[in-house]
Structure 1
Amino acid sequence: MKLRSLALASTLALSALSAQADELTVGVTTTGVPFTFVDTATQKPTGAMVDLAAAIAEDLGDTPEFAINQFSALIPALETGKIDVISAGMLATDKRKEVVDFSDTVYSYGDGMFVAADDDTAYQLDDLAGEIVGAQIGTTFADKLQAKGIFKEVKLYDSLVDIMRDVKLGRIKAGFGDLPIIAYQVGQNPALGVKLVEGYEPMGIGDVALAVSKENPELLAEVNASIAAMKESGELAEIFAKYGL
């Protein structure tokens, strides 16, 4: 009986390990429409990067488990092992590459400037010297604005919606964020009271990629292989096109 119990315990332990190995925990945010957001009907994460992560997990034979985080908490969650991969509208910057490894590029874009809906001025960055502007904490845009050193203040926010609220109310002159995310949100909800500045020249163009721990090169190789296959088949383009990207 004792041997049979030990055998059963071993089988159960192996089954538990297999189940754990087959789960891919993906860090996403709720504030990155159309890359990552929550579907109000299902209350589940959705968006281009969510669909992409799900497709990659399927290709690897894993089950995706999505973990919602603030954008600024994504890399810490990856470093502490709370998640296996980040799949969000995150740009693969040199600074981030110091602490995480990025996959091959899946999408590229620049920053957008937005102002109050009744402001028709065609601003460029230097036109806002001495003004208060806003950006999301943990983003490359916040770093670049602070490095510029021409503003009265660069206010940092947890979410893009909070920046839009303060721009609408006149608390700050302009906000900065991911161009496709801003365009999607403003297009879907004019009541936000802000608009993109036409003709604004971005501070730079960045590449979106998935991020994995530097301690997990095997996963990075598998993710890159999946991305390459989806680029070849056209599935990657189809995923982004579904969300107007």
Structure 2
Amino acid sequence: MSFTRLLARRPRLARLGAAAVVAVALSGVPAAAETPTYTVGSTPTGVPFTFLDVSSNSIQGVMVDIIEAIGEEEGFSPDVKATQWSALIPSLTSGKIDIIAAAMYATEERAKVVDFTETVYSYGEGLFVANDDETAYASPQDLKGKTIGVQVGTAYIEPMKALGIFKDVKIYDSIPDIMRDVQLGRIDAGFGDLPIVAYQLSQGAARVRLVDSYESTIVGHVAMSVKPGNDALRATLNDGLKTIRENGKLDAILAKWGLN
């Protein structure tokens, strides 16, 4: 084809090219891969790790900030859903959620049914009693013969029962429920995740006191989890966790919630 004839055809070629672009746009075919969204299960009663913020009617807290920071680094969008503690693992294994991001210990027993990420944060149990109980308890043995309360699904239940020293070990749905019964004298003491108990009491949650002299005996490691076999998602979470640990975002989040 001559150079003159090619020049004559350029306007027509340009129109065809523009028409092709419009056709692709109208077809709904994305120009690039869409950002994936993962459904995240977090509890509404685990301040400061996860909790329901009534002003925004959304789940907020340490683990929410962490999963959002990881999402920014790894290119996915977390859709955080309020999920009761006892329903977290069943919701994950049934496919209702993709990720658990809550104050959940990575225990050997749980690892049989879910796949955990690397450790996010480590802590143990805290002891709280009524304000008028001024005893300087240092260990569970100091509570021999008393009735205690422990939150359902936590790693403290079986070790406390196994001690065989308590009058009764009662199981509760939430830490506020345990605090209520301690305050009313229905039970003598309560055990819960130390940072959660400390944070709730700092906000005036109940008229009970955290026993400063008590030393945690069941220290665990909090991690996120995915459905067994979802190695790709677990690798993504671990990569993001490593990144925010190295760039300082993880420390900033912990400091924001008083966990540093």
**For structure 1, which runs of at least 5 residues remain unmatched after alignment?**
1-7
2:147/2:170 contact within 8 Å kept? yes
Residue correspondence of structure 1 range 213-224 to structure 2 within 5 A: 213-224=227-238
C-alpha separation in 1, matches of 2:71 and 2:113: 23
**For structure 2, which runs of at least 5 residues remain unmatched after alignment?**
1-23
Q: What residue identity is the alignment partner of 2:167?
A: K
The DSSP-based 3-state class of the residue aligned with 1:94 is: coil
Residue correspondence of structure 1 range 146-225 to structure 2 within 5 A: 146-189=161-204, 192-225=206-239
Q: Which residue of structure 2 lines up, in the alignment, with residue 56 of structure 1?
A: 70
C-alpha separation in 2, matches of 1:147 and 1:71: 23
2:156/2:218 contact within 8 Å kept? no
Deviations 1:8-37 (A, max 9, x none): 9xx66x87xx76x71110000011100001
Deviation at 1:162, TM superposition (A): 0.3
C-alpha separation in 2, matches of 1:236 and 1:193: 32
C-alpha separation in 2, matches of 1:109 and 1:35: 12
The DSSP-based 3-state class of the residue aligned with 1:75 is: helix
1:108 aligns with 2:122: yes
2:69/2:244 contact within 8 Å kept? no
C-alpha separation in 2, matches of 1:143 and 1:34: 25
Identity %: 51
For residue 145 of structure 1, the aligned residue among 145, 157, 160 is 160
Deviations 1:118-158 (A, max 9, x none): 21101221121221100111100112211222112111011
1:37 aligns with 2:55: no
C-alpha separation in 1, matches of 2:142 and 2:251: 37
Q: Which residue of structure 1 lines up, in the alignment, with residue 150 of structure 2?
A: 135
Q: What residue identity is the alignment partner of 2:236?
A: E
For residue 253 of structure 2, the aligned residue among 230, 236, 239 is 239
Deviation at 1:59, TM superposition (A): 2.3
Deviation at 1:61, TM superposition (A): 1.8
1:24/1:57 contact within 8 Å kept? no
1:134/1:172 contact within 8 Å kept? yes
Deviations 1:70-96 (A, max 9, x none): 112111111101111111111111111
1:98 aligns with 2:112: yes
Q: What TM-score, normalized by structure 2, do the two folds share?
A: 0.85
C-alpha separation in 2, matches of 1:29 and 1:112: 19
Deviations 1:82-122 (A, max 9, x none): 11111111111111111111111111111100000121101
Instruction: Note the aligned Cα RMSD (angstroms).
Output: 1.8
C-alpha separation in 2, matches of 1:240 and 1:93: 22
Deviation at 1:40, TM superposition (A): 2.4
For residue 81 of structure 2, the aligned residue among 67, 70, 89 is 67
Larger Rg: 2
Q: What residue identity is the alignment partner of 1:203?
A: T
Q: What TM-score, normalized by structure 1, do the two folds share?
A: 0.90
Deviation at 1:58, TM superposition (A): 2.3
The DSSP-based 3-state class of the residue aligned with 1:82 is: coil
C-alpha separation in 2, matches of 1:234 and 1:56: 12
Q: What residue identity is the alignment partner of 2:147?
A: I
Q: What residue identity is the alignment partner of 1:160?
A: I
The DSSP-based 3-state class of the residue aligned with 1:140 is: coil
